[in-house]
Amino acid sequence: MRINDIEYIEVDVLDVRSAAHASEAFSLILTDKFNATRYVPIIIGLNEARAILGEKHGRLPQRPLTHTLFADLLTDHIPDYNLEFVSIDDFHDGIYYASIVIQSPTGVYFNVDARPSDAVAIALHAKLPVFFRKELFEELLQVARNADEYETDAEFGGFPTPGQPNAPTAETEWETMSLSELKDLLQNAIDEENYEMAAKIQEEIDKRGA
């Protein structure tokens, strides 16, 4: 499939697995729809993991979650606006970028910027296809020989070499920070879904026995 002259492949949401290298982090496993041994793990947070697993296994709470509210609002209460699909479009500075594609009553398509975890949860709830930019998928993909080999303890597969612009390192600024400052920095990294940085901050906290 081509979107704005960029080639995409359709992916399936295989599962959510624990990722032991970051606090309260999980690995969302997205597989090539036509070759399930090819997959990309994306690190997500606890609440997002619960939402996706709830959709996968039919265990949602009685009251609507954020992703169900968004999807139901568009599909059930706003006339002639249609959720079409979601796509994972880019990855830089340790963060994935996704879009929710909506068709307006005039037939115009527009994109809503989203985190992959939210986009996938909405796609599962509204039964939408999920597309992944082909070039990016092939750059980041991992290969499993059988179902047991999918990442269960994610090594942050596909993340680039550490060294993001202006990011402090454990050898410099992190060592001079107080424990309270490190914990605030850790929470900010988790909120931004930058789990590569979060894991390194957690390592510095662990060194201090906290």
Name all domains of the chain by residue range, CATH numbers in brackets: 2-149 (3.10.690.10), 173-207 (no CATH)
Instruction: Find the mean pLDDT for residues 65-77.
Output: 86
Residue type, 187: Q
pTM as predicted: 0.69
Dist. CA 96–CA 93, nearest whole Å: 9
Does the pLDDT value for residue 134 go beyond 90? yes
Q: Using an 8 Å Cβ cutoff, are 131 and 1 in contact?
A: yes
Percent of the chain with pLDDT over 70: 79
Query: With 90 as the cut, is the pLDDT of residue 209 above it?
Result: no
Please report, in angstroms and rounded to a whole number, the separation of the first and last CA atoms in the chain: 49
Question: For residues 186 and 198, what is the distance between their CA atoms, to the nearest angstrom?
Answer: 5
CB 27, CB 43: distance < 8 Å: yes
